[in-house]
Structure 1
Amino acid sequence: MIILGCNGFSRSAEMFAEHYGAVGTEKHYLLGHDAGAALLVDGELVAAVEEERLNRQKKTSDFPINSIRWVLDHAGIDFGDVDLIAIPWNFDAKVFDSTLGELASIPMPPMEKLVRLNHIGMVFATVLGHDAILADFAARTGFTPDPAKVVFVPHHFAHAMTGYYMAGVKDAAFLISDGRAELLSSLTGEIRDGRIRVFEDSFVTANDSLGNLYSCVTRFLGFVPNNDEYKVMGLAGFGEPPSPNPFLEHFVELHEGGRYTMVLPNDLENPRQFEPLIEKHFGPAEATIEYQSRVAAAVQEMVTVVTRHQVAALETRTDLDHLLVEGGVALNCVNNTELLEGSRFSDVSVSFGASDTGVAIGATVFAWVNHPANTAEVKYAPSVTPYLGPEYDDAEVERALGEFADRVEWTARLTDDEVVDQVAQLLTGKVVIGWFEGRIEHGPRALGHRSILANPNFPDIKDIINKRVKHREPFRPFAPLVMEHDAPRVFEMGRKIRSPYMTFVFPVRPEFREVIPGAVHVDGTSRVQTVTTEQTPRLAALLQRFTTLTDVPCLINTSFNVAGEPIVCSPTDALNCFLSTEIDHLVLGNRLVAKRVAGA
């Protein structure tokens, strides 16, 4: 059975701009962001890619036409071979009726209700409704799908199945939390043998979204909502939350069963609704690290308290000992670590596609598991790889290099061992290296195939990368790569034994803080990526060779891009980024690339 999953809408950005003012930095704040496609063949994930990697528009919400074409081409099939199309949204009649009923109950002037009704109707009719999605698919692909072969998967179910498929376990409890799905922002439940059971009394409505409140704070601090939340998380390390915490006292109220409500309901028409309340309790906004870190630390503590409240309730409802955490809130890796250490669960899994980057994958898995014609045993995929996107052969690398021959020079093709040896030698110095190999990784984190690498032994290397390469805020930390077997020696891992997707944060052991200062955040922690020879053979070999030369057990790993742009995908993307920054060297497949010296 072949299942194509796709997330994205042709008119999403246009309609939300027209009806909700979602323009500029607000453009991808709402629904359809992180567009992409995935292909599942007989239960095996064979390809997945985010549309932004191909159309080069960060966080794009557009219909994933390039992604769909690529995953089909990669598998050597066309639309006629596809058995099911899975959509990770289900805005059906029930959702529409519930939305209208909620609007009718809001106390506001009739004319304002009519305006809002028009907005809702237009978005449903032209973007989110089943007929609109089918028409969009036909218009953009030239293929008219049979409605009977299209599965509309509730958004949070797609999140849950993404985590389930990646975790490689038979049974697991789950917590899903994000900005909003069809009607909800969070829920909990169980998956047993691939079948989802939701604890309905744990529902948190979209009006009470923890994710949206965190995004409101992101916007209030001057960053891009639904994109820069990790900046707020990083800032939190510079400060301490006030006691009592205003967010816990005046913004959110906890209820029985793990539920919670916000003091103000989420309002698509007024995304800045919380800002007066923030200023009331924290004072007028200031563009200072002291002010921003105090607000960030307070909202970070709120996330931890609220999600612990949810997990505590979930523990009483399930006898399972493995927890999946998925949805946009799951990208809060500081919180993920605290959830595990504060719970009875033996392990917590957060996938590389925990945000909406992964829902096209989860939708395919849900459609496959639940299809009546599928009699195959559910597959669990502990060895699933994030390296699911396009790769480029030697001929394509050579062609790209030829186009830049007036600005770069490169070695003859090196063996993998030669690449490892030469790059490890370079990394003993204070250099920054672009690392490009194999299939591009899926998800928001660079995981070693499209990465920028550096030696964390230099205390100022973080400032060099932020200023000269990434062109971003100086407070931003960097993640260390470490061999999985070395990780507990360098970091206080607690109950975790691995963190392959940078989804957990751990304290650096005191004896290593001066060994890897460039990868240690101000609060003494690091967002760790553990690697193994099985997962990433050449990267692991590089790390091991570097450690032999330096006695430094880690490398800095950050995404191969500059602020505001997607991670590079093609050799041409990599060369453009290399030449527009102060990256010192570029590994492009099996060639080592340098910039030509002017006049040479």
Structure 2
Amino acid sequence: MTILGLSLSPHDSSAAIVENGKVSIAIEEERLSHVRHCIKYDNSQYNLKSEAKYFDSNFLNPSIDSLRKKINRFYKYFKQGNKHIEEQVSMIVGSNLTGTNVPVDNYININHHLAHAAHAFYTSPYTEAAVLVIDGAGDYFDDSFETVSLYSAHGGSLHLLEKVTGQINHSTNTIIALSNSVGVLYQNTASLCGFGPFGEGKLMGIASYGKPRYVKKFSKYCVKKDTYYQIDNIGLYRCIAKTVNRDTGQKNIADVASSVQKIINNVVLFYARRIKEVTGHRNLCYAGGVALNAIANTKILEKSGFKRVYIPSAPGDNGVSIGAALYGHYQINGNQKKISSGVPPVYLGYKYNDKVLTQAINKYRKYINFEKLRYNKIPPKIAKLLADDNVVAWFQGASEFGPRALGHRSILASPLKMSTRVRLNKIKSRESFRPVAPMMTIDDLSDYFYCPPKVVADSLPYMLFAYTPLNKRITKKIPAAVHVDNTSRLQVLSKNQNSRLYVLLKEFAKISETPILINTSFNIKGEPMVETPKDAIKIFIKSNIDYLVLNNYLIKRL
């Protein structure tokens, strides 16, 4: 059976096709629209006076025509690989938070947190697990929004055990004031610190430069109860706003970020321990937008008591489409989940053929030089370029699904000099405090980084945990790859997961005696990661990247 899964969330919408229980293709809308998070947003509008009006008019109530346009855009993308896909789809399952009728026949809408949970569990290597969902806001019912959900999963079924909800107790009816929401707390803080409501990653980056000196002050609005955390987000918003407005310097911003990060660590760990207590399971699956916080995720790994932890590559709303489609396969159609040997592939986009690549090259050939290399010649040649401190854009096969560059739409560089990180942040017009992530093979992990004992992180290929180098010698050896807090948000690969990158890492190690490369997303400021060969060459020409590898083509600007 062919199932279309849809995430029709107001931000980070996506679509996926599941055939006989396996995800065959998936795409995030931002890759097609070139609009980050699928929404144009001005941070100045994110305040108690104007935010509710903005959400009402542009965000929470899309027209049926706009939803139809969105779905048609997804089908157009899928038809590149299968022009009959629309006729072959026999079930459509999605999660639609807006309340607008979805303009397709036989559409089945499921709960938002349930779709998150389905994505986390059905893509995991487990047949039994506790499933935790923490985000900003899910479905609305009984005058409340869901903010945290705890499930138990077995075979093909998911069972809701507990749910935390929050209310908006403010005259403007704004999401800023939603109580008991960890995601809203982080979103509010990011905006107040000047990074915008989708700037949580920047907030996590700058937090490592600060001291958590406001924890006691902020914790007055975040109180632990027996089974949940009571979070007064309107009180916190006002308190953080006063703290930031009193001193807008970067040091104070870092202290605010550090304080909020520590609170989030405590809350997330509380819920991980809570679901461990309630279920008794050895395995944890975790999803929702808060699951993108690598620092909090690492606390779960180290202190929750679970033996294995899995977070999907797209734990935010973009992953809901996969969860919805897999829910259709397992729970609606009654199929049983089988244990798998590892995590599923994440390279789920359309694989562009050589004809499309050459068309893109010809379109821009007056700006570039290019040569086509044999497959086995690429890793040693690129390893030498990287060892010579060149920055290389790396475009291979189908795009990865999720917000992290995982080796098919990446910018690669050597980790051996701190100046590399400075240069990468300039290329991407990023703030100087932001870290870049390293990638390495699973064979070399334990020789370079401390791995928490007695627990397995099954999401190592997805850059969702922060690991610490084994010693100061390693930290000094790879300065571009280690953040100021002496951690690295690692991507760890096996040969089966990405054979070409695996070989490239080994070739780089032969030259540099270091089996590690920097991997950051192939995009520039204001743009999502590139999707098509045309996107890749266009961004390459605009940037100061030295080389572009487009499958087997090596490209340099004239």
Please give the TM-score of this superposition, normalised by the length of structure 1: 0.82
> How many residues are paired up?
509
Q: Distance in 2 between matches of 1:84 and 1:385?
A: 23
Q: Distance in 2 between matches of 1:283 and 1:69?
A: 46
Structure 2 partner of 1:263: 232
Structure 2 partner of 1:154: 111
- SS at structure 1 position matched to 2:476: coil
Shift of 1:496: 3.9
**Deviations 1:191-242 (CA, angstroms, capped at 9, x unpaired):** 11121111236556653211001100000000121x2101111111111201
Query: Which of these residues, 310, 326, 332, is aligned with residue 365 of structure 1?
Result: 326
Compare 569-578 and 440-449 and name the one that shifted more: 569-578
Q: Distance in 2 between matches of 1:170 and 1:361?
A: 18
Q: Distance in 2 between matches of 1:35 and 1:353?
A: 12
Query: Which of these residues, 406, 409, 414, is aligned with residue 366 of structure 2?
Result: 406
User: Does 1:389 pair with 2:360?
Assistant: no
Q: Distance in 2 between matches of 1:332 and 1:572?
A: 32
Q: Distance in 1 between matches of 2:79 and 2:93?
A: 14
- SS at structure 2 position matched to 1:329: helix
> Residues 583, 306 of structure 1: CA spacing in aligned structure 2 closer, same or farther, 3 A cutoff?
same
- SS at structure 1 position matched to 2:257: helix
Q: Distance in 2 between matches of 1:209 and 1:48?
A: 29
Q: Distance in 1 between matches of 2:252 and 2:481?
A: 24
Q: Distance in 2 between matches of 1:288 and 1:564?
A: 24
What amino acid is the match of 1:401? I
What amino acid is the match of 2:109? F
**Relative contact order, CA 8 A, sep 6+: which one is greater?**
2
1:39-58 equivalences in 2 (<5 Å):
39-58=17-36
1:515-534 equivalences in 2 (<5 Å):
515-534=477-496
> Residues 345, 424 of structure 1: CA spacing in aligned structure 2 closer, same or farther, 3 A cutoff?
same
Q: Distance in 2 between matches of 1:422 and 1:339?
A: 40
Shift of 1:37: 0.6
What amino acid is the match of 2:114? F
1:286-305 equivalences in 2 (<5 Å):
286-305=247-266
User: Does 1:580 pair with 2:542?
Assistant: yes
Shift of 1:492: 1.0
Structure 2 partner of 1:339: 300
What amino acid is the match of 1:166? T
Conserved 8 A contact 2:319-2:402? yes
Q: Distance in 2 between matches of 1:57 and 1:573?
A: 13
**Deviations 1:522-552 (CA, angstroms, capped at 9, x unpaired):** 0110000001111111111101100111101
Shift of 1:189: 1.8
Shift of 1:594: 0.6
Q: Distance in 1 between matches of 2:7 and 2:241?
A: 37
Conserved 8 A contact 2:165-2:180? no
User: Does 1:196 pair with 2:158?
Assistant: yes
Structure 1 partner of 2:175: none
Structure 2 partner of 1:452: 411
Query: Which of these residues, 224, 229, 234, is aligned with residue 254 of structure 1?
Result: 224
Conserved 8 A contact 1:39-1:72? no
Structure 2 residues not aligned, in runs of 5+: 40-65, 140-144, 168-177
Q: Distance in 1 between matches of 2:110 and 2:500?
A: 38
1:133-282 equivalences in 2 (<5 Å):
133-134=101-102, 137=103, 144-145=104-105, 149-182=106-139, 183-200=145-162, 202=164, 207-225=179-197, 227-242=198-213, 244-248=215-219, 250-257=220-227, 259-264=228-233, 274-280=236-242, 282=243
- SS at structure 1 position matched to 2:38: coil
Conserved 8 A contact 2:308-2:457? no
User: Does 1:4 pair with 2:40?
Assistant: no
- SS at structure 2 position matched to 1:70: helix
Shift of 1:377: 3.2
- SS at structure 2 position matched to 1:582: coil
Q: Distance in 2 between matches of 1:151 and 1:53?
A: 25
- SS at structure 2 position matched to 1:513: helix
Shift of 1:308: 1.5
**Deviations 1:430-461 (CA, angstroms, capped at 9, x unpaired):** 21100001000000000000000000001211
1:60-99 equivalences in 2 (<5 Å):
60=38, 63-89=70-96
Conserved 8 A contact 2:210-2:251? yes
Q: Distance in 1 between matches of 2:215 and 2:24?
A: 50
Conserved 8 A contact 1:7-1:64? no
Compare 448-457 and 506-515 and name the one that shifted more: 506-515
- SS at structure 1 position matched to 2:526: coil
Query: Which of these residues, 563, 566, 573, is aligned with residue 528 of structure 2?
Result: 566
Conserved 8 A contact 1:35-1:64? no
Q: Distance in 2 between matches of 1:40 and 1:420?
A: 33
Structure 1 residues not aligned, in runs of 5+: 9-30, 92-127, 138-143, 266-272
What amino acid is the match of 1:392? Y
Shift of 1:157: 0.6
Query: Which of these residues, 370, 374, 377, is aligned with residue 336 of structure 2?
Result: 377
Q: Distance in 2 between matches of 1:78 and 1:553?
A: 42
- SS at structure 1 position matched to 2:36: coil
What amino acid is the match of 1:528? L
Please give the TM-score of this superposition, normalised by the length of structure 2: 0.88
1:538-549 equivalences in 2 (<5 Å):
538-549=500-511
Shift of 1:168: 1.6
Q: Distance in 2 between matches of 1:4 and 1:321?
A: 32
> Residues 247, 496 of structure 1: CA spacing in aligned structure 2 closer, same or farther, 3 A cutoff?
farther
Q: Distance in 1 between matches of 2:4 and 2:76?
A: 11
Conserved 8 A contact 2:155-2:338? no
Structure 2 partner of 1:113: none
Q: Distance in 2 between matches of 1:65 and 1:310?
A: 39
Conserved 8 A contact 1:352-1:386? yes
What amino acid is the match of 1:54? L
Query: Which of these residues, 375, 380, 384, is aligned with residue 416 of structure 1?
Result: 375
Q: Distance in 2 between matches of 1:216 and 1:430?
A: 39
Structure 2 partner of 1:12: none
Structure 2 partner of 1:268: none
Query: Which protein has the larger Cα radius of gyration, Structure 1 or Structure 2?
Result: 1
Conserved 8 A contact 1:55-1:66? no
Percent identity, aligned pairs only? 32
Conserved 8 A contact 2:7-2:319? no
Q: Distance in 1 between matches of 2:553 and 2:375?
A: 10
Shift of 1:378: 2.7
**Deviations 1:246-286 (CA, angstroms, capped at 9, x unpaired):** 222x22111112x1222246xxxxxxx74431144x36354
Structure 1 partner of 2:51: none
**Deviations 1:455-511 (CA, angstroms, capped at 9, x unpaired):** 0001211001101x1111011100001101211211112134661100111112222
Conserved 8 A contact 1:187-1:204? no
Structure 2 partner of 1:509: 470
> Residues 57, 175 of structure 1: CA spacing in aligned structure 2 closer, same or farther, 3 A cutoff?
same
